[in-house]
A = this chain, B = another copy of it.
Amino acid sequence: MTVRLDYTLALDTGSACGVTQAHLAAEESAFQLGLRQVRAAADAGNLGFWKLSQDEGAAEAARRLAASVPDDVHDILILGIGGSSLGGRAVYEALGGPPELRVGRRLHFPDNSDPWRLARLLDTLDPNHTAAVAISKSGGTVETAASLLVVRGWLREAGAPMNRHLMVVTDPERGSLRALVEAEGLRALPIPANVGGRFSVLTAVGLLPAALAGLDVHGLLRGADAMRQRCEQEQLTDNPAGLLAALHVLHHRLYGRHVHVLMPYADGLRAFAAWFVQLWAESLGKRHAKDGRPLETGPTPLAAVGATDQHAQVQLFMEGPRDKLVTFVSVDAPEHELTIPGEEGPNAYLGGHTLGELLTAERRGTAMALATDRRPSLTLHLPKLDAPSLGGLFFLWEAATAIAGELYGIDAFDQPGVELGKRLAFGLLGREGYERERREVESFAAARQPLVC
């Protein structure tokens, strides 16, 4: 059993949505070229994510480091943001159970450097029973640096030795976190230089949090590797990542369906949906084409959760602009089930059904309702919400992102748009070397009459 993509309702024959088998066939050669380029970059060592699933050594290293953490460490702070947080959190939430209800060691992801959360968190925890993992590839991420300074001060004040309470995941050679590792003799795991943040969940970035929570790191890689093999198929209709990419790009290009919704019918995949949003937005939202042409393109990824969002966003999906392609995710056999007790009266029809059956009926009803109004959807079927399925799902979307980047003609692996805001913030914080930015912010503010109500 493996992850399956059902695309019946994303083609004209299923939902009269205008994208045909012929359109898909016409995309075959662009897909093949794109796949070849992605695989060539992977083979040349420039695109590390493609081969991570074969690196059992990384899983083993994460497992060993986690095993060295004493049993009396009950809480782990994962200090990272964006790609250094979302993947680990997606693993932990999907496989570690609902957030408020964890038993055993608890992981916390105070990614935002929000004092409201971090101050309360530190108030609640005992530094002698807490460890932290600082995750930043460059080592220079400001939010992570700030949180780490606070947490190190907190640990130090309690006399907690750093080599016992602080672990690091960073570049194997460079950066200020690497320097800290050397200076203080900290335990550390590397992020390979050829793996970008948002493609790093199957490195120590995701594997160490998973191992620390006692989750099945080998299963994650095994599922990802099985999916990798399917995503290397050269026939488009045999390649789930190719289909996922091509269908999203075709619906966008031909009909302006640029809002790409991921809607798992599973609470455990909420954090996964947030991971997808980063992956899709940051990879595909680009000002320039690869060849430098101005483009200002990029689909808008949207996270939703079924059935909850049937009472929130589905009204818009059903009646609003025809600019959306929805991908449902089904967990076909939920690990925990509940049977609804029977009762007389208007709710009698529910008796004997399971909650899982209710979610399935709602998902199918929603997909069909969209289709009958010529609104397309895809459905990803997970056999279970377990490590192999989740690993497969990660690789599937990463591969689809890389291929979609080729089909859109953009570089899916950079993020130049986040630099300016960061530099201006450095100016405001008085960082050395950013004096010009500080003056820019000041003159920007001075030049504008504030309009406030």
Q: Using CB atoms, name the residue of chain B closest to A363.
A: B425
Q: A8-16, A63-71, A199-207, A210-218: which one contacts chain B?
A: A8-16
Instruction: Quote the shortest CB–CB distance from A9 to chain B (angstroms).
Output: 8
- Cβ-defined contact, B277 with A355, below 8 A: no
A40 at the interface (CB under 8 A from B): no
Whether, in the assembled complex, A112 has its beta carbon less than 8 Å from a beta carbon of chain B, the answer is yes
Q: Which of A310, A315, A345 has the most CB of B within 10 A?
A: A315
List which A416-436 residues lie within 8 A (CB) of chain B.
Answer: 416-418, 420-432
Instruction: Give the CA-CA distance A338 to B152 in the complex, in Å.
Output: 13
A261-286 vs B, Cβ < 8 Å mask (1 yes, 0 no): 00001111000001001100110111
Instruction: List, in ascending order, chain B residues with CB within 8 A of A85's CB.
Output: 308
Given A319-B298, A320-B296, A424-B368, decide whether A453 and B281 contact each other with a Cβ distance below 8 A: no
Q: Tell me the A361-386 residues at the B interface (CB within 8 Å).
A: 361-362, 364-366, 368-372, 385
Contact status A13-B448, CB under 8 Å: yes
Chain B residues in 8 Å Cβ range of A25: none
Check: A119 CB closer than 8 A to any chain B CB: yes
The 4 A-B residue pairs with the shortest CB-CB distance, nearest first, are: A82-B311, A285-B316, A318-B417, A365-B424
Chosen A-B contacts, 13 in total, with CB atoms closer than 8 Å, are A7-B451, A81-B307, A115-B337, A143-B307, A146-B355, A149-B341, A150-B341, A239-B453, A318-B418, A348-B432, A361-B425, A369-B424, A372-B420
Is B349 touching A426 in the complex (CB atoms < 8 A)?
Answer: yes
> Which B residue sits closest to A86, measured CB to CB?
B312
Are B124 and A101 interface neighbours, CB within 8 A?
A: yes
Given A316-B282, A355-B115, A365 and B258 touching (CB < 8 A)? Answer: no
Q: Are B453 and A240 in contact (CB under 8 A)?
A: yes
The answer to the question of A186 belonging to the interface, with a C-beta cut-off of 8 Å to chain B, is no
Contacts of A364 in B (CB 8 A): 424-425, 428, 441
User: Within 8 Å of chain B (Cβ to Cβ): is A237?
Assistant: yes
Of B81, B311, B431, the contact of A83 (CB 8 Å cutoff): B311
Q: Within the complex, what minimum Cβ distance (angstroms) separates A116 from chain B? A: 5
Please give, as numbers and ranges, the residues of chain B lying within 8 Å of A356 by CB-CB distance.
Answer: 115
A287 proximal to B (CB < 8 A): yes
A250 proximal to B (CB < 8 A):
no
Which residue on chain B has the smallest CB distance to residue A139? B346
Is residue A60 contacting chain B, with contact meaning CB distance below 8 A?
no
Is A350 within 8 A of B142, CB to CB? yes
Neighbour of A281 across the interface among B121, B146, B312, CB < 8 A = B312
What 1/0 mask marks residues of chain A from 182 to 215 whose CB sits below 8 Å from any chain B CB? 0000000000000001000000000000000000
Query: Is A36's CB within 8 Å of the partner chain B?
Result: no
Q: Which of A26-34, A41-49, A92-100, A162-170 contacts B (4 or more CB under 8 A)?
A: A92-100
Each complex incorporates copies of this chain amounting to 2
The verdict on A22 contacting chain B, using a C-beta distance below 8 Å, is no
Q: How far is the CA of A297 from the CA of B321 in the complex (A)?
A: 5
Q: Is A449 among interface residues, defined by CB-CB distance under 8 A?
A: yes
Let me know if B336 and A13 touch, CB within 8 A. no
Distance (Å) between the CB of A174 and the closest chain B CB?
12
Contact of A355 with B285 at beta-carbon distance under 8 Å, contacts A100-B108, A259-B300, A345-B176 already known: no
A7 contacts across to B, CB distance below 8 A: 451-453
How near does chain B come to A359, taking the closest CB pair, in angstroms? 7
A35 nearest CB across to chain B (Å): 14
How far, in angstroms, from A198 to B179 measured CA to CA in the complex? 52
A91: chain B residues within 8 A (beta carbon): none
Do B320 and A286 touch across chains, with their CB atoms under 8 A apart? yes
Q: Is the CB of A319 within 8 A of B287?
A: yes
A331 surroundings in chain B (CB, below 8 A): 116
Contact A281 B368 (CB under 8 A): no
- Which residues of chain B are near A274, meaning CB under 8 Å? 312
A115 CB contact (under 8 Å) in B334, B368, B428, B440: B334
Contact A316-B302, Cβ < 8 Å, known A258-B321, A429-B358, A449-B13: no
Measured between C-beta atoms, what is the minimum distance from A430 to chain B in Å? 6
B319 and A267 within 8 A (CB): no
- List B contacts of A354 (CB < 8 A): 115
| Cβ 8 A contact of A453, one of B112, B237, B358 | B237
Across the two chains, which residue of chain B brings its CB closest to A300? B259
